[in-house]
């Protein structure tokens, strides 16, 4: 079943932030360049690194990679007349740009917040999604806000903006960093941490059985982007063209509604 988030998440679409003008030629021009001007890892393929799972953005279902990010890059690859190849990679390597610098992939798609520090290491597409941070707690918990975390164990995903926000704002909390949501959510399920601070859409997915709830949301002005080698300007421009096209033809809204609309 596709992940569904509450209507409130609709307010944080980055659709208006997508570039309104194409950076280069038309789709035919982009197709002509495929495998030539993009300096791809493998000719004819758009190789994408993603830290899986991170529901609803990237996860595996019925033997296939799916999710909001995955559906977006499928459309981008198709628009560039490229085959899509996905590699599961750790978020630390993705967020630092290491996987791009090592030539492991052409593009990173893993709910990556665009930050000035990350922009020093890699190029980014136009923003394609805006997100909030949030605090997940067990149902009935006495933790009602970030101010209640003094002396508590707070779980975060390492090397993320959520971790940075927690370290700056969760006064008195013992912050415990995990590699991914795959380890983070089981930590709160087992009682090893008292709360989890991470991206709102991901935490919302953990409330569906009623055992956990969102105690608080934090507007942090975060926008996700697809990462690429900053010197591969042809690919960055072509991906932005595709994002604009997806916005204009309604496909972006269709994919968004698939994962986030009630």
pLDDT beyond 50 at 149: yes
- In-domain check, residue 1: no
Please count the structural domains in the chain: 2
Q: Among candidates 174, 194, 173, 196, which has minimal Cα distance to 184?
A: 196
> 159-216: per-residue pLDDT in tens?
899 999 999 999 999 999 999 899 999 999 999 999 999 999 999 999 999 999 999 9
Q: Are residues 141 and 108 in the same domain?
A: no
Residue 37 has a pLDDT of: 78
Do 77 and 199 lie in a common domain? no
Cα 123 from Cα 78, distance rounded (Å): 21
Residue 258 and residue 262: Cα distance in Å, rounded?
A: 9
Is residue 188 domain-shared with residue 78, that is, in the same domain? no
Dist CA 211 CA 232 (whole Å) = 46
Q: 240: buried, middle or exposed (CB in 10 Å: 19+, 13-18, 0-12)?
A: buried
pLDDT of res. 261? 80
Whether 6 and 204 have beta carbons less than 8 Å apart is answered as: yes
- Whether 157 and 120 map to the same domain: the answer is no
Query: 121 and 160: one domain?
Result: no
Nearest to 79 by CA among 255, 257, 238: 238
Give the Cα separation of 113 and 84 in Å (integer): 22
Section 45-74 average pLDDT: 96
Q: Which residue has the higher pLDDT, 10 or 170?
A: 170
pLDDT-derived band at 16 (thresholds 50, 70, 90) equals very low
Instruction: Give me the residue label for tokens 């190849």.
Output: 85
The pLDDT value given to residue 62: 94
> What's 148's DSSP letter?
G
Would you give the distance in Å from CA 96 to the centre of its chain? Answer: 14
Same structural domain, 105 and 136: no
Residue-range definition of the domain harbouring residue 16: 7-128+225-260
116, 238: one domain: yes
Of all residues in the chain, what percent carry a pLDDT higher than 90? 82
Report yes or no on 2 lying in a domain: no
Q: Say what the pLDDT of residue 262 is.
A: 62
Average pLDDT, the chain: 88
């Amino acid at each position: 079943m596709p992940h569904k988030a509450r209507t409130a998440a609709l307010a944080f679409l980055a659709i208006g932030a997508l570039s309104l003008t194409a950076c280069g030629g038309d789709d035919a021009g982009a197709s002509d360049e495929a495998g030539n001007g993009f300096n791809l890892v493998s000719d004819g393929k758009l190789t994408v690194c993603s830290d899986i799972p991170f529901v609803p953005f990237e996860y595996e279902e019925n033997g296939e990679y799916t999710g909001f990010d995955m559906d977006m890059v499928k459309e981008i690859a198709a628009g560039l007349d490229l085959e899509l190849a996905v590699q599961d990679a750790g978020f630390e390597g993705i967020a630092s740009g290491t996987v791009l610098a090592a030539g492991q992939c052409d593009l990173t798609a893993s709910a990556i917040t665009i930050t000035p520090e990350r922009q020093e290491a890699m190029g980014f597409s136009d923003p394609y999604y805006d997100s909030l941070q949030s605090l997940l707690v067990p149902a009935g918990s006495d933790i009602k806000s970030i101010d209640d975390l003094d002396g508590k164990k707070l779980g975060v995903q390492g090397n993320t903006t959520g971790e940075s926000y927690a370290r700056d704002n969760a006064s008195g909390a013992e912050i415990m960093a995990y590699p991914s949501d795959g380890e983070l959510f089981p930590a709160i399920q087992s009682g090893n941490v008292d709360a989890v601070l991470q991206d709102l859409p991901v935490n919302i997915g953990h409330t569906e059985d009623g055992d956990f709830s969102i105690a608080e949301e934090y507007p942090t002005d975060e926008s996700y982007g697809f990462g690429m080698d900053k010197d591969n300007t042809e690919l960055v421009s072509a991906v932005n063209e595709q994002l604009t096209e997806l916005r204009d033809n309604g496909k972006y809204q269709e994919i968004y509604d698939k994962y986030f609309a009630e």
